[in-house]
Structures are given as structure tokens and as C-alpha cells.
Structure 1
Amino acid sequence: MEVIEETSFPDDSGSRSLCPDHHLDTAVGPGWAYLHKPIIVIVMGSLMSATGGVLHLLQSSRESKASRSVASACLSVGLMFVVMGLVWIPVLKEKKRRKEYSYGA
């Protein structure tokens, strides 16, 4: 019978990271560096919702000939983005907490 030797892979010891911008957490700012994307999503969703609200008010006061479906679409998509951003923030905080725990342990 042949004996097959086990080959071991060289230990990278963390030289390759799954998160390439890991060093940005401390370089850019202490706590807000990882929240820029959800904040942008929330702001854009708020602007879109406000646009839908203004279109709806203008259409209901007969000042605009914009379709009611355009106003409704802006409102619903904008609110969807706001909710998505608000849910994204706790997910990122938990991810950061787990990452810090795994690096510390």
C-alpha cells in the first residue's frame, strides 16, 4: 500500500484579508468610517421620498400635471431606501463587533 503524505499549505498568518479596507476603520475615523454607505442610502431615500411628497402635494392642489403614479413610485422607493439604510446600520455594527471580537480572541 502506498502512503500518501499530507501536504500542508503555507500559513499566510493573515497576510490576505477578506476585507481589504480593514485598515480604514481606524485610519478614517473612530466610529463612523464604516457607516458612510447606509448614511448615503438614507439621505438619497429621504430626498426621493420628499420629491414624491412634493409631487403628490402639487398634483393634489392641481398645480402640476405630473402623474399620481410617479409621486407614489417616488414615495415608495424612497421609503424603501430609508428603511433599508436603517436596517443596514445595526447589521454593520454587529458585523464590526464580531470582527473585533474575533481579532481580539
Structure 2
Amino acid sequence: MEVNGERLYSDDSGGPCPDRYSAVARGMAYLHKPIIVMVMGSLMSAAGGLLSLLQSWGVTEASTSVASACLSIGLMFVVMGLVWIPILKEKQRRKRFSQAV
């Protein structure tokens, strides 16, 4: 079925569903930014940990400050993402409450 050149997807009941995301995906879509921040922070802290491990084994001549900076900045991003999630959940809860009143 096509409407205005856009294809509509149907759900199990046979009725058209205008978007391709489930209700859970739409409900959790506001969390994509903090999740991305946490993933990037964990990758950066893993790189810092790997650099410090390689340096302790004598494999690389990387500076100690580079490994420490990667590790600390990565952990800072992970913590920022972890703090950001409850803030967004509270904001969405207040928004739903104000719309219901």
C-alpha cells in the first residue's frame, strides 16, 4: 500500500502503521545521544588503558600523559552519559505529566 509515494507498513492487526519503528524504539529514541556519548567514552578509555598496558610492557614509546589523558577523558564521557540518562527520563516524565493535566 502506498500513500503519497510513501510506503506504509502494516502491523499484526492488518492496519497501516505510518512508521517503521516499534513503540519501544520510539519511547527510547530520546536516549540515543547519551548512549553514543557513553560508547565513545568507553572506547576512548579502552584506548587509554591499552596504551598504558603497551607502555608498561615496553612495546610502545607513547607518552604517559597521552595514555592518562585518553583514560581520564573517556571515563569523564562515560560518567557524563550515565548522569545524562536520569535527567532526560525526569524531563520526559515531567513533560508527560504536564500534557496529561
2:35 equivalent among 34, 39, 56: 39
In the TM superposition, structure 1's runs of 4+ consecutive aligned residues that sit over 2 Å from their partners are 26-31
Distance 1:72 1:29 in 2: 37
1:100 equivalent among 93, 96, 100: 96
Distance 2:99 2:70 in 1: 43
Listed as ranges, the matches of 1:21-100 within 5 Å are 29-100=25-96
Question: What percent identity do the matched residue pairs reach?
Answer: 73
Output the amino acid matched with 1:85.
Answer: G
Higher helix share: 2
What displacement does 1:28 show?
8.4
Number of equivalenced pairs: 80
Output the amino acid matched with 2:66.
Answer: V
Distance 1:95 1:69 in 2: 38
Q: Normalization by structure 2: what TM-score?
A: 0.75
Higher strand share: 2
Distance 1:56 1:103 in 2: 51
Distance 1:31 1:87 in 2: 19
- RMSD of aligned alpha carbons: 1.6
- Structure having the higher Rg: 1
